[in-house]
Amino acid sequence: MRLTRFAMPAAVSGLLTLALSVPLHAQANQALLDRFKSAMAEEGTRIEWKSVSSYDNAEGKPVTALDGVTIDTGDAPVELAKIELIAPEQTDDGYTIEKVLMPSWQYADDAMTASVNDVSLEGVVLTKEGIENAYGTSILYDNARLGEVRVSMDNAEIFTLTDVNVAIDASEDGGEMTFEGAAEGFTLALSKIDNPSAKAAASAMGYDTVEGYLEFDGSWEPASGKLALTQFDITGVDAGTFGLKLDLGGYTPAFMKSLRQMQEQLANAPEGADNSAAGLAMLGLMQQLTFTGAEISFNDDSLTGKVLDYFASQQGQTPQVVANQAKAVVPFMMMQLNNPEFTQMVTTAVSAFLDDPQSLKITARPTAPVPFALIVAGAMSAPQGLPQQLGVTVTANE
């Protein structure tokens, strides 16, 4: 992953205060900042700042620092102490910035506090005013990093995320873009959830705190609009891995621009306004997408056994008895679809998985791409036909 859209939260308007000693240098920085602000606005993000300063960092590289920053994407504005633009340079095609660095951000309300640290983008490219790049955007970057996120509720830490890295690779002519990324670690404190029964169940299974990591990769062809998420895996240590794969068509730069404009209209609508027309328009826009395939999977790493053990202890039964009870319930749950063939497939897969928990996979792969309009219509009028329409299969332990 070496190239992607630069779409961090931001807000437009505000005076620039440049304290530079060389007039030509000041003019160059002013032009850069004007373009940085307008490019952010073109991507649906408004940004302003109270002052600007210039200096060399510890590596001797020139830095243009924005102090007292406010960013806004339509929700509540976010206040940042500083954003640093490291080694900016004007080119024939616009501007390049070696790194955009946001050292830290904090948020707090009556119950929750959150902090985000060490956010950066590397290899940032800004196009000239009024010109889009081959991917239909004004801002691109090679790599992104998020060092740490911490979230606390009532002074108790409930979630952390560390070392998130994203890289993007794309050609200058607008060919296929590939991306990949990972979060090296996360923690989720289930012992802090409000539901007493869920908290007790998690503790009994040894999941007071869940630790894990995240991996993903995929590709995008702007000309055809084919978007493929080939991996999105969330792994819980001593639990298992939940995976998602997705193939869509119609996700073109034109679609992205229309979607962004529609989102801006909804965000800027007066509070309490009737957004039903805009909602219908958004639904119509989504019908430009086509569904090519998807896969949802779970690879067990002791979670299933712990769940069976827990419910067995609650019922005074053995885990096998609980598994047999679950297997018996599946056909009744599937009766609503009125699809005997699909019900048999699901029942067979679930039974095999519960007898020997290894993996469970749901795959949808139609013989030809299906417009989302047909999927919605099928779900409303004849849901029992969706498994055949979408080519759904359910398998276990493959």
Alpha carbons 291 and 289: distance in angstroms, whole number = 7
pLDDT for 13 equals 29
130 within some domain? yes
pLDDT tens digit sequence for 148-164: 999 998 888 999 999 99
Q: Which residue in the block uniquely carries the two structure tokens 């309490």?
A: 272
**Domain of 100?**
1-168
pLDDT for 274 equals 66
389 within some domain? no
Rounded mean pLDDT of the chain? 87
pLDDT tens digit sequence for 9-27: 332 223 222 323 333 345 5
5 within some domain? yes
359 within some domain? no
pLDDT for 273 equals 66
51 within some domain? yes
| DSSP conformation letters of 56-117 | E-TTS-EEEEEEEEEEESSSS-EEEEEEEEEEEEEETTEEEEEEEEEEEEEEE-SSEEEEEE
User: Which of the residues in the chain have pLDDT under 70?
Assistant: 1-28, 267, 271-275, 278-279
pLDDT for 154 equals 83
349 within some domain? no
> How many distinct structural domains can be found in the chain?
1
Residues 6+ apart with CB under 8 A from 308: 319, 322, 323, 354
pLDDT for 211 equals 97
